[in-house]
Amino acid sequence: MRGFEVQAGAMSGGIQSTGDFPGAARNIDELRSDILKAKSLIPGNHRLNLHEIYGDFGGKVVDRDEVTVEYFQSWIDWAKEHGTLLDFNSSSFSHPKSGSLSLANPDDGIRNFWIEHTKRCRDIANAMGEAQGDPCIMNLWVHDGCKDVSVNHALYRNLLKQSLDEIFEKEQPMMKDCIEGKVFGIGLESFTVGSHDFYTAYAAQNDKILTIDTGHYHPTESPADKVSAVLPFVKELMLHVSRPVRWDSDHVTIMDDPTQELFFEIVRADALDRVHYGLDFFDGSINRIGAYVIGSRSAQKCMLRALLEPRQLISKLELAGEGYKVLAILEEQKAMPWQAVYDEFCVRNSVPVGAEFIAEIEKYESEVTSKR
């Protein structure tokens, strides 16, 4: 579960949350309350992905290159108390030193600042993994790029590679590194240092997890098709599942065709043990608890439909050249009563079935978020 990046200071770094629906969490206690409420309406087990900026700093000003695990100990304790595993992200945006370049910055002082920040984030992620007895996955995404024409592409990319090499020097046995590319960021439209080609090559060469964000591609590209394209070359994938509208607007995940195809591809590639996925949406224009719940349940339903597909039969027919039978079964499957299976999943996990969760969210809004 990920989303709604609350940032201190001015917006920068090609990232923003849209909308200002009343009742947003104002502090860690309120955020944790919202998370627990959302969890109570979503069946199954969950992980929580935290950005470094969500640290429990207690009002203390701690710069990004000074952060340590002590500022996340309360998160570790809270997660253990509530049976939730943690993942992590470094945060290179919304900072006086963010600018348009961080790990690719030719200024040694700024670049080393962000290298140190990312190293410390890996230390925190490793400590989280040790505490929970399960490796913490840390995603590395930096916004680095140019607003307008640039002639130093090679320079910036070589600097980014050098920074990554230095960051990954230290072995961290209880965390996993994943790296995420992008086409462009807000305010950085002309050139992105960490492009998809750059990170795909780096991940394959350096045995890192490659992150595929469904909102980070050209609208005519299929992120689902990339799953089987890169799995022969990387051990694992991280998916950030979102709903881009007019390119990377990060709406709440729904059961649209691209999302369904993404989960079909994971199952068809027999890659359930090699692919991790989290939700990635920045839509603050609607009730945030509703957004968490809708997005999570929709993603679960897409996975369920993929698991219920008669994959072996369809594969056998395709290999036998029975194309029309493949199409026929795929079309029949769309009308199968998979929703009954999901309803039973909800019942067994003691969470509301169908649209019953709406009443719970309305009650929480009336009693809690509307009073903030």
Residue spans per domain, the chain: 28-311
pLDDT 10s per residue in the chain (372 long)?
A: 444 333 344 455 666 677 889 999 999 999 999 999 999 999 999 999 999 999 999 999 999 999 999 999 999 999 999 999 999 999 999 899 999 999 999 999 999 999 999 999 999 999 999 999 999 999 999 999 999 999 999 999 999 999 999 999 999 999 999 999 998 887 889 999 999 999 999 999 999 999 999 989 888 899 999 999 999 999 999 999 999 988 778 899 999 999 999 999 999 999 999 999 999 888 889 999 999 999 999 999 999 999 999 999 999 999 999 999 999 999 999 999 999 999 999 999 999 999 999 999 999 999 999 999
pLDDT score at 8 = 41
What is the pTM for the complete model shown?
0.93
Q: How far is CA 93 from CA 54, 202, 249, 350, in A?
A: 13, 22, 18, 39
Q: Which of 349, 369, 358, 357 is nearest to 46 (CA)?
A: 349
3-class SS at 347?
Answer: helix
CB atoms within 10 A of CB 307: 15
- Report the Cα–Cα distance between both ends of the chain, in Å, rounded: 23
Domain covering 28-311 in this structure, CATH number: 3.20.20.150
What are the residues facing 140 on neighbouring strands? 179
**AA letter at 189:** E
244 phi and psi angles, rounded to 5 deg: -70, 135
**AA letter at 321:** G
**For residues 333 and 264, what is the distance between their CA atoms, to the nearest angstrom?**
12
Kind plus residue range of the DSSP H or E element containing 205:
helix 196-206
Token pair in block for residue 177: 């590194």
Length of the chain: 372
pLDDT score at 19 = 80
Active site residues: 141, 180, 182, 213, 216, 240, 248, 250, 280
DSSP assignment string, 306-335: HHHS-HHHHHHHHHTT-HHHHHHHHHHHTT
Token pair in block for residue 62: 């701690």
pLDDT score at 246 = 82
pLDDT score at 5 = 38
Kind plus residue range of the DSSP H or E element containing 365:
helix 357-367
pLDDT score at 105 = 98
Q: How far is CA 55 from CA 69, 94, 205, 311, 349, in A?
A: 9, 15, 32, 44, 31
CA 293 remoteness from chain centre: 16
Q: Which of 164, 144, 155, 196 is nearest to 13 (CA)?
A: 144
pLDDT score at 15 = 66
